[in-house]
Amino acid sequence: MIDGILIGLTTALTPTNLMMVAGGCLVGTFIGMLPGLGPISAIALMIPVTYGFDPAAGMILMAGVYYGAVFGGSTSSILINAPGVAGTVASAFDGYPLAKAGHAGKALAIAAYSSFAGGTIGAVLLLIAAPVLSKLALGFQSPDYFALMVLGLTAVAAFAGEGQILKAVMMTIVGLMLSTVGTDAAEGLPRFTFGRLDLIDGISFLLLAMATFALSEALIAAMKTEETASPSEEKASPTIGSLKLTSKEVADIAPTIGRSSLLGFFVGVLPGAGATIGSFLAYGMERYIAPAAEKVKFGFGALRGLAAPESANNAACTGSFVPLLTLGIPGSGTTAVMLGALLSYNVQPGPQLMTDHPDVFWAVIVSMYIGNFVLLVLNLPLIPYISRILLLPRKVLTPLILFFSLVGVYLVSSNHVDIYIMVAIMLATIGLRIANYPVAPIILGFILGGMMEENLRRSLELSDGSYQFTVERPLTLSILLMAVIVILGPLVSKILSTRKRVANDHQI
Amino acid sequence: MRVSPKLSADRVSALALLTFSLGYSYLAANIALFPGGEHQVFTARTLPIGLSVCAVLVSLALLIQSFLTAGAVSVDNVPLRWSRGFALCALMVFFGMGIPRLGFIFSSGLFLAAALLVMGERRVYVVLAVVLSITVTAWFLLGYVLDMYLEPGLLGEILG
């Protein structure tokens, strides 16, 4: 392995390849910031550019673009509540409130540090455990995936405030319902399309995320009167705040980053799970284990609430390379595009990659780490400039957010009907927000809905329609038990604390 | 007894969700299947029907809850300038309608200018600067650098 790392370092640390990774990070950051253009689009755009390169240089450039695009996506999530990709949705929950409160600099710095730490831990785990983990990941079967999706849905508890659990559950169901719109994946039958071709592909994630987050937020901000909008809101954020973290804040988020990185990496290793589930699970886990005083801060700018999804999604991105490099199975959309790029270089990923093309294998792993480092070095100084977008007056910023959100969705589909659907969803979201419904569970349900249906279908078909599959495999049962604990845990602890209080009152 | 706005918002939203759930249930029960499909273990209807049952039950529970509790005051439940909101919504719809007719670039410019005016920006040079910088950048970056298809619209076709 040491020889391999040395090969990787020798390949990745040449001046040309260092320029590749730096250029890739910068380009990726700017592409990732545009709604609608996530890591997949950014890497796909790079494929023609890298045709003439040698495989290692091409993959190094793409690794840089990948990390840059993930960080760029987090930037738009945090600054304008516009998560362009599913993996950065959870970053908006606490990142955007922090930016609104005038701490955009700190929020972006935490995102950068957490991403760096998550990527670093992921890269180390990739170096050490890639072959073993790929075998473990292959052991996951449909019932286990289904159980994992159920566990992912229990993260809904993290979005429910006091007395809001029913509302959060309802919103998750609405998200699941929206995920069933379009052509049924297994049988090819149209569902809820009203005979319209515009709905045959279903509702896109981007459309839903932009309508529920960016558009509704921008419109509510635009509708606030001078009396109801605070002076800071009227002028957007008056400051971007300091980038510096106090030692107490670092000590507070460090364990969160460690835990979330490990969780994110292992979820990322599972083909199909990826950064989105990793980030939601990490957010849910952190809220679940946080002390009561910290728990209430989640959703209102908790530092842990931002650090958790950021480190988890970056670690999961690294984890998704495990099945690609060791088995030749792309674990996510992005790695599928990378697989295509590798094949175009006549490099076949899989068990033989390490022996046939050790320079490519190790260079990609090492360049991931270098990409993380370069991203931190390049982007930290850029944060004050990127954050300046918040200094624009609200009457200029709001039309720009509306425009970029609409255009981001329209350009992906080139279908103007998507704009009408967005407006309809945005109006419904505003109504729900006025009635105090949390909207994040809609996205959670929507993202997990398709995968959950697919795995439930396979599981039921394999077990001949019996729900015994939920208890047949120890792994499935363990994951489902974890889900039950996550849902019932807070309820049980509440009952216990009430009993304790009553007992204490009686003693007094 | 005077019903508080929050209470009625809870009831109205629960009723709206119940209506939505019932509509979804009706459509789910009518999803077309292949002949003999109903005998399969899992069909295109299975999950939607399961979700329908859950949605109806939870929305009923929410409706009952809205009668039993006063609820907390929503952070978003503040006086809003609805006329501005509806104007911006109308602009978004006109933007969508304008793309096939006026083309992407021209519709974008009009949308931005109108949205800035609705938001209260009256300085002509600011409106012009924002509109021109954004549309020219979009045209160059999307059309030339990223080589994306930008709808020319009927107007673009007429102008050649």
Instruction: Give the pLDDT mean for A368-395.
Output: 78
Q: Tokens in use for A370?
A: 């270098």
Q: Which residues of A396-408 are buried (b: 16+ CB within 10 A; e: fewer)?
A: bbbbbbbbbbbbb
ipTM for the predicted complex: 0.89
Write the CB contacts of A133 (distance below 8 Å, at least 6 apart in sequence): A125, A266, A269, A319, A322
Of A87-101, A176-190, B94-108, B145-159, least confident by mean pLDDT is: B145-159
Cα gap A396→A147, rounded to integer Å: 46
- Is the Cβ–Cβ distance between B61 and A166 less than 8 Å? yes
Mind giving me the DSSP string for A324-386? HHHHS---SHHHHHHHHHHHHTT---STTHHHH-HHHHHHHHHHHHHHHHHHHHHHHHHHHHH
- CA triplet B147, B149, B151: central angle to 5 degrees? 145
Inform me whether the pLDDT recorded for B3 exceeds 50: no
Inform me whether the pLDDT recorded for A277 exceeds 50: yes
Inform me whether the pLDDT recorded for A243 exceeds 50: yes
Cα gap A443→A81, rounded to integer Å: 14
Q: pLDDT band at residue A8, thresholds of 50, 70 and 90?
A: confident
How far is A222 from chain B, CA to nearest CA, in Å?
7
How far is B4 from chain A, CA to nearest CA, in Å?
12
Pick from A228, A398, A419: CB nearest B95? A419
Q: What is the pLDDT of residues A283-320, one digit of tens each?
A: 888 888 888 788 788 888 889 999 999 999 888 888 88
In whole numbers, what is the pLDDT of chain A averaged over residues? Answer: 82
Q: B-contacting residues of A 182-211, CB under 8 Å?
A: 184, 186-187, 189-192
Do residue A170 and residue B55 have CB atoms under 8 angstroms apart? Answer: yes
Phi-psi region of B41 (alpha: psi -120 to 50; beta: other; left: phi over 0): alpha
Do residue B58 and residue A173 have CB atoms under 8 angstroms apart? Answer: yes
3-class secondary structure, A190: strand
What pLDDT score does A459 carry?
92
- Is the Cβ–Cβ distance between A61 and A21 less than 8 Å? yes
Counting residues of chain A whose pLDDT is more than 90, the rounded percentage is 13
Q: A-contacting residues of B 95-134, CB under 8 Å?
A: 95-97, 99-100, 108, 111-112, 115-116, 119-121, 126, 130, 134
What pLDDT score does A159 carry?
61
Chain B residue closest in CA terms to A395: B119
Do residue A219 and residue B88 have CB atoms under 8 angstroms apart? Answer: yes
Question: Residue A183 forms beta bridges with which residues?
Answer: A190
Counting residues of chain A whose pLDDT is more than 70, the rounded percentage is 89
- Is the Cβ–Cβ distance between A349 and A324 less than 8 Å? yes
Chain A residue closest in CA terms to B31: A191
What pLDDT score does A161 carry?
63
Cα gap A351→A340, rounded to integer Å: 17
Inform me whether the pLDDT recorded for B70 exceeds 70: no
What pLDDT score does A271 carry?
65
**Residue B33 at interface with chain A, using a CB cutoff of 8 Å:** yes
**Residue B146 at interface with chain A, using a CB cutoff of 8 Å:** yes
**Residue A439 at interface with chain B, using a CB cutoff of 8 Å:** no
Q: Tokens in use for A334?
A: 């992005």
Q: Which residues of B1-18 are buried (b: 16+ CB within 10 A; e: fewer)?
A: eeeeebeebbbebbeebb
**Residue A434 at interface with chain B, using a CB cutoff of 8 Å:** yes
Torsion of CA A412, B45, A470, A465, to 10 degrees: -130
Instruction: Give the pLDDT mean for B21-28.
Output: 96
Cα gap B23→B26, rounded to integer Å: 5
Cα gap A129→A127, rounded to integer Å: 6
Closest residue by Cα to residue A405 from A393, A388, A422: A422
Q: A-contacting residues of B 4-23, CB under 8 Å?
A: 6, 9-10, 12-13, 16-17, 20
- Is the Cβ–Cβ distance between A405 and A33 less than 8 Å? no
- Is the Cβ–Cβ distance between A226 and B80 less than 8 Å? no
Q: What is the DSSP letter of A224?
A: B
What pLDDT score does B71 carry?
54
Of A71-75, A94-98, A406-410, B76-80, least confident by mean pLDDT is: B76-80
Q: Name every chain B residue with its beta carbon within 8 A of the beta carbon of A174.
A: 17, 20, 55
Question: Residue A190 forms beta bridges with which residues?
Answer: A183
Do residue B74 and residue A460 have CB atoms under 8 angstroms apart? Answer: no
Q: pLDDT band at residue A225, thresholds of 50, 70 and 90?
A: low
Q: Tokens in use for A298?
A: 């989640």
Instruction: Give the pLDDT mean for B92-101.
Output: 93
3-class secondary structure, A229: coil
3-class secondary structure, A255: helix
What pLDDT score does A158 carry?
61
Q: What is the pLDDT of residues A129-150, one digit of tens each?
A: 766 776 676 777 888 888 888 8
How far is A428 from chain B, CA to nearest CA, in Å?
10
How far is A46 from chain B, CA to nearest CA, in Å?
11
3-class secondary structure, A60: helix
- CA triplet A202, A205, A210: central angle to 5 degrees? 120
Of A109-113, A178-182, A252-256, A490-494, least confident by mean pLDDT is: A490-494
Closest residue by Cα to residue A182 from A167, A195, A168: A195
Do residue B112 and residue A399 have CB atoms under 8 angstroms apart? Answer: yes
Do residue B58 and residue A169 have CB atoms under 8 angstroms apart? Answer: yes
Chain B residue closest in CA terms to A397: B116
Do residue B74 and residue A434 have CB atoms under 8 angstroms apart? Answer: yes
